[in-house]
Structure 1
Amino acid sequence: MHRSRKKLTGPPPGSRTTIEQRIQMLRRYVFRLGFTARISTRTLFKYPQHQRLGLRLMPVIGMKLSSLGLISVLLASVPPALFGAVIGTNPPCPPLSVERITALSPADQPAWRDYLARSATAFAADKKFYADELNVLGLTAPLVPARAKGRVIPVKTPGNSFTSPDFLRLADNLISFQTPAGGWNKNTDFASRPRHPGERSGYEAGYVGTLDNNATIAPLRYLAAVVQAGGSTPATDRHRAAFLRGLDYLFAAQFPSGGWPQVYPLQGSYHDAITFNDGAIVNVLTFLREVAAGRGDFAFVPAETRARTAAAVERGIVCVLATQIVNVDGRRTVWRQQYDPLTLIPVSARAYEMPAQSAGESAGIVRYLMALPEPSPTVITAVHAAAAWFERTRLNDVTYALAPDGSGHQLTPTPDAPSLWSRYTEIGSDRPLFGDRDRSIHDQVGEISKERRAGYGWFGTEPKSTLAAYAKWSQRHAKK
Structure 2
Amino acid sequence: MRKLKRLLVLSLGFFALNACSSDSEAVDENKTIFVTSVIVNGSDITDGQAKQFTTVVLPNNATNRTVTWSVSDESIALISDNGILTPLDNGTVQITATANDDSGLSAQKTVKISGVAGPVVLVESISISGSDITDGQAKQFSVTVLPNDATNKVVVWSVSDTSMAEINIEGLLTPKKNGTVNVIATAIDGSGIKGELNVNISGVSIKIAKAENVLLFQRNNGGWPKYHNDFSGYDREQTSADLTEASKKDKVDTTIDNNHTIGEIRILLNAYQASANNDYLEAAVRGIDWVFEAQYENGGWPQVYPLESGYSRYITYNDNAMGNVMNLMRDIFLEQNNLDLIDNSYISKAQTAFDKGIDVILQSQVVINGIKTAWCAQHDAVTLKPKMARSYELASNSGSESVGVVKLLMTLESPSAEVINAINGAVAWFESVKIVGYALQDVNGDKVLVESPGNVMWARFYTLDDYTGDQYESMFNAFNPNEPFFCSRDTDPQGGGPRKTIAEISYERRNGYAWYGTWAKNLISTEYSAWKAKHGI
Pairwise same-fold verdict (TM > 0.5): yes
- The letter for the 2-side match of 1:432 is P
Give the unaligned 5+ runs of structure 1: 1-162
Q: Counterpart in 2 of 1:410?
A: 448
Q: How many angstroms does 1:198 deviate by?
A: 6.4
Query: Is 2:269 the partner of 1:208?
Result: no
Separation in 1, partners of 2:294, 2:220: 14
Name the structure where strand makes up a greater proportion of residues.
Answer: 2
Query: Is 2:524 the partner of 1:475?
Result: no
**Pairwise mapping of residues 341-420 of structure 1 onto structure 2 (< 5 A)?**
341-403=381-443, 408-417=446-455, 419-420=456-457
Correspondence for 1:311 among 352, 358, 373 = 352
Shift in alpha-carbon separation, 1:180–1:358, aligned structure 2, 3 A: same
Shift in alpha-carbon separation, 1:416–1:295, aligned structure 2, 3 A: closer
Shift in alpha-carbon separation, 1:311–1:166, aligned structure 2, 3 A: same
Q: How many angstroms does 1:478 deviate by?
A: 5.2
RCO higher in 1 or 2 (8 Å CA, sep ≥ 6)? 1
Separation in 1, partners of 2:239, 2:265: 17
Q: Counterpart in 2 of 1:21?
A: none
CA contact (8 A) 1:324 1:332 kept: yes
Correspondence for 1:436 among 463, 474, 488 = 488
Q: Counterpart in 2 of 1:334?
A: 374
Q: How many angstroms does 1:433 deviate by?
A: 1.0
Shift in alpha-carbon separation, 1:287–1:413, aligned structure 2, 3 A: same
Give the unaligned 5+ runs of structure 2: 1-202, 466-480, 491-495
- The letter for the 2-side match of 1:411 is L
Q: How many angstroms does 1:416 deviate by?
A: 2.3
CA contact (8 A) 1:425 1:432 kept: yes
Question: 2:400 is paired with a residue of what secondary structure?
Answer: helix
Query: Is 2:327 the partner of 1:286?
Result: yes
Separation in 2, partners of 1:192, 1:198: 12
Question: 1:341 is paired with a residue of what secondary structure?
Answer: coil
Correspondence for 1:182 among 200, 219, 222 = 222
- The letter for the 2-side match of 1:391 is E
Query: Is 2:271 the partner of 1:237?
Result: no
Correspondence for 2:462 among 402, 406, 425 = 425
Q: How many angstroms does 1:302 deviate by?
A: 1.4
Using structure 1 for the length normalisation, give the TM-score.
Answer: 0.61
Separation in 2, partners of 1:225, 1:276: 26
Question: 2:498 is paired with a residue of what secondary structure?
Answer: strand
Correspondence for 2:511 among 451, 454, 472 = 454
Question: 1:457 is paired with a residue of what secondary structure?
Answer: coil
- The letter for the 2-side match of 1:247 is I
- The letter for the 2-side match of 1:420 is M
CA contact (8 A) 2:206 2:275 kept: no
Query: Is 2:246 the partner of 1:191?
Result: no
Separation in 2, partners of 1:411, 1:164: 58
Q: Counterpart in 1 of 2:272?
A: 227
Shift in alpha-carbon separation, 1:296–1:353, aligned structure 2, 3 A: closer
**Pairwise mapping of residues 76-155 of structure 1 onto structure 2 (< 5 A)?**
none
CA contact (8 A) 1:321 1:382 kept: yes
Shift in alpha-carbon separation, 1:200–1:187, aligned structure 2, 3 A: closer
Give deviations 1:145-191, integer Å, cap 9, x for gaps.
xxxxxxxxxxxxxxxxxx99997222122111101111112251122
Q: Counterpart in 2 of 1:103?
A: none
Give deviations 1:48-90, integer Å, cap 9, x for gaps.
xxxxxxxxxxxxxxxxxxxxxxxxxxxxxxxxxxxxxxxxxxx
Correspondence for 2:294 among 245, 249, 253 = 253
Shift in alpha-carbon separation, 1:297–1:422, aligned structure 2, 3 A: same
Separation in 2, partners of 1:210, 1:202: 17
CA contact (8 A) 1:339 1:347 kept: yes
Q: How many angstroms does 1:230 deviate by?
A: 3.7
Q: How many angstroms does 1:357 deviate by?
A: 0.2
Separation in 1, partners of 2:332, 2:421: 27
Give deviations 1:420-477, integer Å, cap 9, x for gaps.
1000001142100111101321122111111110000000111012222112111233
Shift in alpha-carbon separation, 1:223–1:275, aligned structure 2, 3 A: same
Give deviations 1:191-222, integer Å, cap 9, x for gaps.
2236869622499xx75111111111111111
**Pairwise mapping of residues 2-17 of structure 1 onto structure 2 (< 5 A)?**
none
Q: How many angstroms does 1:315 deviate by?
A: 0.9
Using structure 2 for the length normalisation, give the TM-score.
Answer: 0.54
CA contact (8 A) 2:205 2:275 kept: no
Separation in 1, partners of 2:536, 2:434: 23
Separation in 2, partners of 1:239, 1:297: 12
Separation in 2, partners of 1:401, 1:472: 32
Shift in alpha-carbon separation, 1:416–1:251, aligned structure 2, 3 A: same
CA contact (8 A) 1:176 1:194 kept: no
- The letter for the 2-side match of 1:424 is F
CA contact (8 A) 1:434 1:444 kept: yes
Separation in 1, partners of 2:393, 2:257: 16
Q: How many angstroms does 1:291 deviate by?
A: 1.3
- Kindly name which structure, 1 or 2, has the bigger radius of gyration based on alpha carbons: 2
CA contact (8 A) 1:228 1:299 kept: no
CA contact (8 A) 1:177 1:190 kept: no
Aligned residues: CA RMSD: 2.3
Shift in alpha-carbon separation, 1:199–1:267, aligned structure 2, 3 A: farther
Name the structure where helix makes up a greater proportion of residues.
Answer: 1
CA contact (8 A) 1:274 1:340 kept: yes
Q: How many angstroms does 1:265 deviate by?
A: 1.5
Question: 1:437 is paired with a residue of what secondary structure?
Answer: coil
- The letter for the 2-side match of 1:303 is N
